[in-house]
A and B are shown apart, each in its own frame.
Chain A
Amino acid sequence: GQQLNQSPQSMFIQEGEDVSMNCTSSSIFNTWLWYKQDPGEGPVLLIALYKAGELTSNGRLTAQFGITRKDSFLNISASIPSDVGIYFCAGPFNYGQNFVFGPGTRLSVLP
């Protein structure tokens, strides 16, 4: 079945630093979604991408839809303590009715 890979698995950064993470797939996706999950909470949608090459921003977050449609990237600029959490990429299957998630990138921000 479809499978997503995310890297890095985890990362520790200093407050104020920029962060980059990526997601790859063996299959082509027509949509890429990026979610963040805080401890004890469900995933919250950060950014949705719909077109190859698309670059979309949401505040300090910027995500890109890879040209091959098999990858996506998420960047966070000037990290702050509340950026701590697990970041998941996700892609739709079954005609877009539901989606498959990557294993996540765990972000820790050191003061």
Chain B
Amino acid sequence: DAGVTQSPTHLIKTRGQQVTLRCSPKSGHDTVSWYQQALGQGPQFIFQYYEEEERQRGNFPDRFSGHQFPNYSSELNVNALLLGDSALYLCASRLAGTGVDIQYFGAGTRLSVL
């Protein structure tokens, strides 16, 4: 049973470019959340997707957008990249209706913006 998988593992972009990160949730999970983890800090909540809709959003600008597909996988898109967008982007999945602690994280995508 595969856990949460994310791709790519590493990515290098330049300022102003756009990037798409992908996440496949753990088998049986239907809710996906995205987090940004800057170097030396804890993860920060970006948004959550359930039933192909954005359900909750953290304090991130509209340059950050996402999508969830019918198979529950999800994408995170970031437009007009800034140097400050360099971070580890984590995806977490869970099954709706279960407790808040039953959330599994992927290994993340390391994004470097030059």
Cβ-defined contact, A98 with B33, below 8 A: yes
Chain A nearest Cβ from B26, distance in angstroms = 12
- Identify the closest chain B residue to A42 (Cβ): B105
Q: A40-B107, A42-B4 are in contact. Are A31 and B41 (CB under 8 A)?
A: no
Query: Which residues 15-47 of A have a CB within 8 angstroms of B?
Result: 31, 33, 40-45
Cβ-defined contact, B48 with A103, below 8 A: no
Residues on B with C-beta less than 8 A from A1 are 59
A85 at the interface (CB under 8 A from B): no
In the complex, number of A-B residue pairs with CB atoms less than 8 Å apart: 54
B90 at the interface (CB under 8 A from A): yes
Q: A97-B55, A98-B33 are in contact. Are A104 and B41 (CB under 8 A)?
A: yes
Max chain B Cβ within 10 angstroms of own Cβ: one of A40, A97, A101, A103: A97
Q: How far, in whole Å, are A1 and B44 apart by their CA atoms in the complex?
A: 12
Cβ-defined contact, A44 with B48, below 8 A: no
Q: A41-B107, A42-B4, A45-B101 are in contact. Are A103 and B56 (CB under 8 A)?
A: no
Q: A1-B59, A42-B105, A42-B107 are in contact. Are A98 and B41 (CB under 8 A)?
A: no
- Identify the closest chain A residue to B48 (Cβ): A98
Cβ-defined contact, A104 with B56, below 8 A: no
- Identify the closest chain B residue to A86 (Cβ): B42
Q: How far, in whole Å, are A100 and B100 apart by their CA atoms in the complex?
A: 12
Residues on B with C-beta less than 8 A from A101 are 42-44
Chain B nearest Cβ from A77, distance in angstroms = 23
Max chain A Cβ within 10 angstroms of own Cβ: one of B40, B42, B56, B58: B42
Query: Which residues 48-106 of A have a CB within 8 angstroms of B?
Result: 48, 88, 90, 92, 94, 96-104
Residues on A with C-beta less than 8 A from B33 are 98
Name B's A-contacting residues (CB within 8 A): 4, 33, 40-45, 48, 55-56, 58-59, 90, 92, 99-101, 103, 105-108
Name A's B-contacting residues (CB within 8 A): 1, 4, 31, 33, 40-45, 48, 88, 90, 92, 94, 96-104
Closest 5 CB pairs of A and B: A42-B105, A101-B42, A48-B101, A96-B100, A92-B100
- 12 examples of A-B residue contacts, CB within 8 angstroms: A42-B4, A42-B90, A42-B107, A42-B108, A43-B90, A88-B43, A96-B100, A97-B48, A97-B55, A101-B42, A102-B42, A104-B41
